[in-house]
Structure 1
Amino acid sequence: MTLIFKILPEALWRDAMNAGVFHGAPVDLSDGYIHFSTAEQVRETAARHFAGKTDLVLAAIDSETLGDALIWEPSRGGALFPHLYAPLSPDQVRWVQPLPLGPDGVHLFPELDA
């Protein structure tokens, strides 16, 4: 099992849970796929794209459950990032945890291998 991660506003995740499907955040909808990060990438993703933001959650998804709609594509410096070219069902999410800011303004991550 390889976990991949999605950072998003808690309200957006709550809306997806109520709708029974997550089509993506505004950047995902604009790009045509849902952006994910690996455990090695997600802290940098948080620092680059969510610096100082509160009310975020971190969703963990088993990449192997996403099938052929998940494509690993080069991005930042040539690193491969997981991109999902399909909606995400909340049933595919293993867990969701709050992603609070620490006293130093850096997000506090839960264990990423659980």
Structure 2
Amino acid sequence: MTTIYCLTPASYWATFADKSEYVPRDYKEEGFIHATKGDDLLYKVANRVYHNFDAELLLLVIDEELVTSTIKYEQAKDGNLYPHIYGPLNMDAIIEIKTMHRTKEGWTLPHSHRI
């Protein structure tokens, strides 16, 4: 199993409770779903994109092998490769949902340690 991550505000996620697919707010403008892979990039993205976000933030843990839309690894402006999902995310590919926590150092997961 290969795991990738998507971040989403909890209030927005709630609108997909009865749906079979998920798309983020910026999907129409971007043309794909932004995702990340690995803890280091997850924290980097969370703290860059959601720097001033004060509400509940969720982490969608996705089994990449179960995603029915095309996933392309593409280099971003920061030089890192990110998985981009070109199409809606089928809900059955989401294997876990975690709540991110804000600390004075930034966003993190419970019991996570950055070294």
Which TM bucket (shorter chain)? 0.7 to 0.9
- What residue identity is the alignment partner of 2:22? F
- What residue identity is the alignment partner of 1:93? I
TM-score by length of 2: 0.83
TM-score by length of 1: 0.84
1:87 alignment partner in structure 2: 88
Uncovered stretches (5+) of structure 2, i.e. residues with no partner: none
Q: How many residues align?
A: 110
Uncovered stretches (5+) of structure 1, i.e. residues with no partner: none
- What residue identity is the alignment partner of 2:42? V
2:107 alignment partner in structure 1: 107
Q: Deviations over 1:15-74 (max 9, x none)?
A: 122223212222x33110000011131100011100142211001101122256011111
- What residue identity is the alignment partner of 2:35? F
Q: Which runs of 4+ in 1 moved over 3 A?
A: none
- What residue identity is the alignment partner of 1:70? I
Given the alignment of the two structures, is residue 70 of structure 1 paired with residue 71 of structure 2, yes or no?
yes
Would the alpha carbon gap of residues 111 and 62 (structure 1) be closer, same or farther in structure 2, given more than 3 Å must change?
A: farther
- What residue identity is the alignment partner of 1:73? E
**Aligned-pair RMSD on alpha carbons?**
2.0
> Where is the strand percentage greater, Structure 1 or Structure 2?
2
Percent of pairs with identical residues: 23
> Where is the helix percentage greater, Structure 1 or Structure 2?
1
